[in-house]
Structure 1
Amino acid sequence: MNPEVLRSALRGLEIFEGLTEDQLDWLVSVSEPRVLADGEILFRDGEEAAGFHVLLSGGLVVTKVVDGREEVLTRHSTEEEGAAAEEHDGKPAAAHRFTGELPLLTDGAYVATAAASGPATTVVAYAKPVFFEMLTRCHGVAAVLIPVLAWRIKSSEVQARKRATVEALGTLAAGLAHELNNPAAAVARAAQELVPALDGLTRTAQAWGAAATGAERSVLDRLADELDKVPPPVVSDPLAQADAEEEIADWAEEAGAERPGLLGSGVADLGLELGWLLERLEGVGEPALPAALDHLAALLEIRSLAAELRAAGPRISQLVSATRDYANLDRAPEQRFAVTDGLENTLVVLRSKLTGISVVREYHPDLPELTGYPSELNQVWTNLVDNSAEAMEGSGTLTLRVRVEGVCMVVEIADSGRGIPEESLPRIFEPFYTTKDVGKGTGLGLHLSYRIVTQRHHGSITARSRPGETRMLVRLPLSGTDPACASPATTSPATTSPTTAS
């Protein structure tokens, strides 16, 4: 590009309009113009940031792959119509004309991918050392750049919050659907089997009434009452239960029962054996015994179906209650709450992700309630527990500890996973920093958790990690904004003391 044409184009940009002639001469001398074809990549998400880019003509579309799909974060355009379309979120006009400053200032990688949009896109690149020299030489540049930088950080966090909300709702829906499947299936199966079971009970009752004497009916009535009061076995031995079931079924078949297998399974499921049954059936004569056994089997079947329905109903209610508490629907934003309730509801929601993982609870007794925003803290617990589950990859131990230390309540979430690399620990609360593969993390989960804890609840969050042990500690003031709980976020390798807090 002709230097004079480039000089004129740069002078027309808001970021460079206050430069002196000498500053503009220097800027032209270090400029690297580049013409991009439609769709050509300017820089990619995850690449080390190498330059600051100024858009002279055409447009750029900035995208990021999130959970396997590409999302458009924003568009930069030199056309008035295109720029106006992007101003609905308060985007400054100057933000359309440059990009790449954020990762340079944070000494990180690009956090999104930028590609040309349109056939005539021209950018000017400034290498990293030149960019910092530009800030030193040309003071007016920073005056335009800093407000745009602030808007971009705020916009990214707003997008991340929206994405986190959608992800949380998705996690909630998936977890709820997974957990509801078992009790709902039990209800459906019991309802389907209940009608034929009732028919069978009616038929066997008629047969038993016709075959039995008054004394024999009393024997079976006492047996039925006793079976109804038998508690479930404390320890279940599948092999012993199978043997007992087979023995009872064989005896019932020899006695002439129509459904010996149903009787065997019904009695064995209660942890009982054939000897117990024979003892209680004394007094029932051989002619009436088959009818007695068939009626007893039908009774046990009905009671088993009723027990399934009784267990499934409260389980569904529990899940609905946990979901309501987790989301804090129709409640005041700030309220008194028990921290452990949020942790327990988070475990319910994430149960499907914790399959194969042992959960250990160490809650100090008589914990006081806090005042704050439980729905926001639930997002913190969800993020920390989800990260722990991912680090353990389906096996390990998740430990939740809650205790009071002075004027602070301390919530500790520890896992036995792979740990956080030592070089990454100091940066895990930084915005846009992530140790996950490109497209699998936004780099804002822990940062948003940090802001919820520190800014909304005046607390602190710290991290310690080594292979096989990672501990995240959240301190929340018991009342007010006690500065003792608001220490800066610190990170370090885990020590041998499990109670070390910072």
Structure 2
Amino acid sequence: MTGPNIAIDELRSLFLFEALTDDQLGWIAERAQVRTFDAGAVVYRADEPAEALWVLLDGRLRLTRTADGEEVPVNETAHRGAYAGAIRAFTAAAPGIYQSSMVTVAPSRFLRISADDFSTLMHDWFPLAVHLLDGLYLGIQNTEATIRQREHLAQLGHLAANLAHELNNPAAAAVRASAQLRTRVAGMRHKLGLLAGQRIDPELLRTLVTVQEAAVERAAKPREPLSSLAESDLEDALADQLSDLGIPDAYALAPVFAGAGLDADWLAEVADGLAPDAREGALRWLAYTVETELLMDEIEDASTRVSTLVAAVRQYSHLDQAAHQEIDLHPGLDSTLVMLGHKLTAVQVHREYDRELPTVPAYASELNQVWTNLIDNAVDAMAGRGDLWIRTYRDGEWAAVAITDTGPGIPDSVRGNLFDAYVTTKPVGQGSGLGLDNARRIVTRRHRGELSFTTGPDGTTFTTRLPLPPGVEAAATEQGRQT
């Protein structure tokens, strides 16, 4: 409730105002209000418009912030003259909302000075202080901006290194297979020349072509991969069989046939259809043919992998798409996993996607930064080895993304202010403490969503909730009524 204006003597007894003149104290007394609250009352809430500076006259106050859906105390005091609220109303970079919530722990009395009056008195009475504090706040903002930019560049460099590693493997495989393919094609030309020089029987040539096509078709069919022991046994059996047929260097041909899924029965069938003096040339020609097909498959797989990575980069960056649009969350999560693939080599990734999850209005590339930070932190928490669950689901009017690791959990000492700038659980030099702060800003300010976490000795889950378009909820309700 509202009480009478405060007496000048009581104002002077507060350390904030003890050096002011009678005229200045009178100016405040005319404009300020005294307000009383019972114990447990909410004076103001975080994210509400910062309309006033509150000064404690008597009682006890507590400042809290929301973490994981709970109000976490950040300060509690009964010190007379303690102040909170719109304390930066006089600065050029004043936040327009309260940064925390204030509740009373005991019956309390406050002096309420409107943000506009507080700004006026600071500019009129303490212009030098205003300039100094403006410069201080601006310097802090510039420092934060620089560090955030460096953090972002470091993250981009990290992703670029991962991408380079992921691209290098298929590119190297394609180069290696291309060089081997050139050698095998040259060998095929040589064998074809030898066969032509021997004036081979046309019927035998037709038989070789038929066997060649059958071998290629059989090699192309999908099959269950063999264990290392089974594959070694197959190679030994084929090598012994080739040696019995009088084929020199049988242990060089056997791995080729085994790798294509060609077994002893196939080899026996082919050998029975060839004259003894034609077996060696024919089987080597078939080996070149089969190996050529395997090398072309390897080149195709490597090229497809490169194409997939490039597509993931395009999906991750959204360079050729509108900045803000309604998106399916799953492609962004998948492209982020591809971008971080090098860090996930020893991590088992479990995707539990709700494919019926509606699209959400979002800045897709910024959300991908959130996924990158949360997944990267999860992998670091597990020291690069463990299980990672990514789950999407609908939570009422929200689309939810939960990212869970099997790490040791977040220490109690940082849980209350984990989303604050410069707070990190990583060793010195390995984290700036701005990743989660940036993620929270993107989720809460850019998307009007929520970012929370639960943690324990068995792991941690970060849950991002993004608001669904209003029409989606209405459509779902109407559909439920019709059903």
Do both proteins adopt the same fold according to a TM-score greater than 0.5, normalized to the shorter chain? yes
Change (3 A) 1:222 1:19: farther
For 1:111, the equivalent position in structure 2 comes to: none
Q: CA deviation at 1:249?
A: 2.4
Residue range with higher mean Cα deviation, 397-406 or 365-374? 365-374
* Amino acid of the structure 1 residue aligned with 2:163: L
For 2:276, the equivalent position in structure 1 comes to: 286
User: Quick one: distance in 1 between partners of 2:362 and 2:336?
Assistant: 17
For 1:347, the equivalent position in structure 2 comes to: 337
For 2:184, the equivalent position in structure 1 comes to: 197
Is this contact kept in 2: 1:232–1:270, CA < 8 A? no
Change (3 A) 1:296 1:412: same
For 2:112, the equivalent position in structure 1 comes to: none
User: Quick one: distance in 2 between partners of 1:482 and 1:225?
Assistant: 56
Work out the number of aligned pairs and report it.
358
Q: CA deviation at 1:475?
A: 0.4
Change (3 A) 1:244 1:304: same
User: Quick one: distance in 2 between partners of 1:321 and 1:410?
Assistant: 25
What are the within-5 Å matches in structure 2 for residues 32-111 of structure 1? none
Q: CA deviation at 1:331?
A: 2.9
Secondary structure in structure 2 of the residue aligned to 1:287:
helix
* Amino acid of the structure 2 residue aligned with 1:217: L
Q: CA deviation at 1:223?
A: 2.6
Secondary structure in structure 2 of the residue aligned to 1:462:
strand
Over the matched positions of the two proteins, sequence identity in percent amounts to 37
Question: TM-score, normalising length from structure 1?
Answer: 0.65
Is this contact kept in 1: 2:353–2:391, CA < 8 A? yes
For 2:50, the equivalent position in structure 1 comes to: none
What does the per-residue CA deviation read over 1:55-87, in whole Å, with 9 as the maximum and x for residues that have no partner?
xxxxxxxxxxxxxxxxxxxxxxxxxxxxxxxxx
Question: Does 1:401 find its partner at 2:391?
Answer: yes
Secondary structure in structure 2 of the residue aligned to 1:411:
strand
Change (3 A) 1:462 1:321: same
Secondary structure in structure 2 of the residue aligned to 1:474:
strand
* Amino acid of the structure 1 residue aligned with 2:381: A
What does the per-residue CA deviation read over 1:252-302, in whole Å, with 9 as the maximum and x for residues that have no partner?
244344553343112211333212321244311111111111101111121
Question: Does 1:369 find its partner at 2:364?
Answer: no
User: Quick one: distance in 2 between partners of 1:189 and 1:306?
Assistant: 11
Secondary structure in structure 2 of the residue aligned to 1:288:
helix
Residue among 448, 468, 482 paired with 2:458: 468
Is this contact kept in 2: 1:257–1:294, CA < 8 A? no
Q: CA deviation at 1:368?
A: 2.5
Is this contact kept in 2: 1:431–1:443, CA < 8 A? yes
Q: CA deviation at 1:470?
A: 0.6
* Amino acid of the structure 2 residue aligned with 1:171: H
For 2:416, the equivalent position in structure 1 comes to: 426
User: Quick one: distance in 1 between partners of 2:314 and 2:361?
Assistant: 19
Secondary structure in structure 2 of the residue aligned to 1:418:
coil
For 2:235, the equivalent position in structure 1 comes to: 245
For 2:213, the equivalent position in structure 1 comes to: 225
What are the within-5 Å matches in structure 2 for residues 412-423 of structure 1? 412-423=402-413
Which consecutive unaligned segments of at least 5 residues does structure 1 have? 1-17, 22-93, 95-104, 107-137, 484-502
Which consecutive unaligned segments of at least 5 residues does structure 2 have? 1-17, 22-90, 92-98, 101-124, 474-483
User: Quick one: distance in 2 between partners of 1:142 and 1:405?
Assistant: 49
User: Quick one: distance in 1 between partners of 2:287 and 2:262?
Assistant: 14
Secondary structure in structure 2 of the residue aligned to 1:404:
strand
Is this contact kept in 2: 1:343–1:378, CA < 8 A? yes
User: Quick one: distance in 1 between partners of 2:160 and 2:248?
Assistant: 46
User: Quick one: distance in 2 between partners of 1:206 and 1:478?
Assistant: 69
Secondary structure in structure 2 of the residue aligned to 1:229:
helix
Residue among 352, 356, 379 paired with 2:346: 356
Secondary structure in structure 2 of the residue aligned to 1:455:
helix
User: Quick one: distance in 1 between partners of 2:158 and 2:379?
Assistant: 14
Question: TM-score, normalising length from structure 2?
Answer: 0.68
Q: CA deviation at 1:234?
A: 1.6
For 2:115, the equivalent position in structure 1 comes to: none
For 1:458, the equivalent position in structure 2 comes to: 448
User: Quick one: distance in 2 between partners of 1:283 and 1:438?
Assistant: 72
Change (3 A) 1:286 1:471: same
User: Quick one: distance in 1 between partners of 2:303 and 2:355?
Assistant: 30
Residue range with higher mean Cα deviation, 231-240 or 410-419? 231-240
Is this contact kept in 2: 1:175–1:352, CA < 8 A? yes
For 1:70, the equivalent position in structure 2 comes to: none
* Amino acid of the structure 2 residue aligned with 1:185: A
* Amino acid of the structure 2 residue aligned with 1:179: E
What does the per-residue CA deviation read over 1:387-441, in whole Å, with 9 as the maximum and x for residues that have no partner?
0111111211011101122221100100001211133222111112122233322
Secondary structure in structure 2 of the residue aligned to 1:359:
strand
Q: CA deviation at 1:212?
A: 4.5
Secondary structure in structure 1 of the residue aligned to 2:465:
strand
* Amino acid of the structure 2 residue aligned with 1:175: N
What are the within-5 Å matches in structure 2 for residues 87-486 of structure 1? 147-148=134-135, 150-209=137-196, 210=198, 212-230=200-218, 231-257=221-247, 260-479=250-469
